[in-house]
Chains A and B, each alone.
Chain A
Amino acid sequence: MRSADNESKIYGNLDAVLAEVRHALGKFLDTGESTTIDLNALPFGAGDESALFEALGHGEVEMVLTAMGQSRLWESRYAGVWLVAHHNGQGERVALQIEITDVPSIARSQRGDMEEALRRLPDSPWSAVG
């Protein structure tokens, strides 16, 4: 159970993540290099995750990606700090990442898909209907 019970204070795992986010945001501004922090790989205790969500908050943009289940991408109240939660077809979360970048990489159109789209795109609106 990962309830918002403020227990995270006693584990103290949150400070390290926020320090890494701060460092990564500085790096992106200096060099343009994105950073992805994999939250599944961190030893979070009950309450740590909700405390992190609370600390980062919600910003202006939220996206839903529908591919093999839904993924939710939202910018935190700190510009350039995105949260990416991948869910499978059953709605279970399979990955949770913080991405420090301007646009999360998975939101971008994939080149292979665009090439296929160009082949499929009709010459005129009528041929698509027909």
Chain B
Amino acid sequence: MADTDTLGESLRRLGVTRRGFLKFCAATASMMALPPGAAAAMAAALEKARRPSVIWLSFQECTGCTESLTRSDAPSLEGLIFNAISLDYHHTLQAAAGSAAEAAREQAMKESWGKYLLVVDGSIPLANPGYSTIAGISNVEMLKETAQGAAAIVAVGTCAAFGGLPKARPNPTGAVSVSDLITDKPIINVSGCPPIGAVITGVLAQYLTFGQLPDLDAYRRPRAFYGQSIHDRCYRRPFYDKGLFAESFDDEGAKKGWCLYRLGCKGPMTYNACATLRWNQGTSWPVEAGHPCLGCSEPSFWDAGGFYKALSVPTAEVARTAGYALAAGVAIGGVAGMVGQSIKTTAATGHQKVTVDELEA
């Protein structure tokens, strides 16, 4: 249960010295893309922060989000923050089950009414509430009930944030996102399939440090992590600028590490921190491993017309359209983007594959 301990006190009991704490803050500030100088201010604020109660609800999901967070090694920064919060309900991690688990949730809700953080992973089925239940309670019922007393809701993963794979056409369960159902609470979407573990704890650390929600983008994602496109932070970007592209997975360009745009990389339309935070304890990330970005942190990435289809390939035809538009005073880049976007939207609506020919038509 949430107690009166401050985070500093509870960390000190775990054997963390002030230097260790400062080091933790330096690393956290780094992953949150805060100015490096913010570490000291963060340490001072976190020292005094009270441990918040966190209730974690898992709905239609694959447990990948929980894996992403808990498989990050302990005692890592993520593990540390997790030790420092009071995780009062998480049915994958807790020992209790059934009515005992539900009693824990209800008690945590009662004790911290209006103050607890609600974390949700997974989408919510509306076609038939019986598709996904916990202790006989439907997901939609449990979400609405638990959301009522929450200070804020963190929708972890693309399923909770945007509906995710369960929502892929034809959406057999009638899956919806958290923000489709809850409209009267602050919601932070931490999208990704799964999101980077450090991003989840970064959001929690930010909430604890500053006592307020982070700055969010149009999709309610924290700008610190989703503020820049994969493309803009990609170390292969200089190749894109020079027009040097891999055309297949084993050609000379691929071996030289050229841009993967033509192999379907969704980096230009994807906002996430993979390019700088990387995966597997910072070892690598998809593009560094030679694979295009799938765009997993974007809404509807699952129905966007094929992972290996290029976003848009400017051709003579597009250039001609653009030419007319230019005469009307519209920028070329915008038109090329609009043509690509309309093909993508059509594909998403009809769930059709887009061929290169169609893209070039």
Contact = CB atoms under 8 A, between A and B. Distances in A.
Contacts of B77: 88, 94
Given A97-B36, A105-B40, A106-B22, 15 more contacts: A38-B30, A40-B31, A41-B30, A43-B275, A45-B257, A86-B23, A88-B75, A88-B77, A90-B73, A93-B282, A105-B22, A106-B19, A106-B26, A112-B18, A113-B18
Interface stretch (A5-13, A53-61, A75-83, A121-129): A5-13
Contacts of B141: none
A46 interface: yes
A48 B20 contact: no
Given A44-B235, A88-B73, A36 B27 contact: no
A92 interface: yes
A43 B19 contact: no
Contacts of A88: 73, 75-77
Contact of A92 (B37, B237, B238, B282): B282
6 contacts: A12-B238, A43-B235, A45-B288, A68-B24, A89-B73, A113-B19
A67 B30 contact: no
Interface residues of B, number: 37
A71 B236 CA distance: 30
B277 interface: yes
Nearest to B281: A92
A13 B233 CA distance: 11
A31 interface: no
B63 to A, nearest CB: 23
Interface of A: 1, 7, 10-13, 36-38, 40-46, 48, 65, 67-68, 71, 84, 86, 88-90, 92-95, 97, 105-106, 110, 112-113
A43 B233 contact: yes
Nearest to A36: B36
Is chain B's interface secondary structure helix, strand, loop, or mixed overall? helix
Interface of B: 16-20, 22-24, 26-27, 29-31, 33, 36-37, 40, 73, 75-77, 80, 233-238, 256-257, 275-277, 281-282, 284, 288
B23 A68 contact: yes
B256 to A, nearest CB: 8
B172 to A, nearest CB: 40
Contacts of B22: 105-106, 110
Given A1-B284, A48-B235, A92-B282, A110 B19 contact: yes
A84 B237 CA distance: 27
Contacts of B236: 45
A82 B209 CA distance: 28
Contacts of B18: 110, 112-113
Contacts of A90: 73, 76
Given A68-B23, A113-B17, A40 B30 contact: yes
Given A13-B235, A88-B73, A92-B281, A71 B23 contact: yes
A68 B36 contact: no
A36 B37 contact: yes
A87 to B, nearest CB: 10
A67 B12 CA distance: 12
B235 A92 contact: no
A93 B276 CA distance: 14
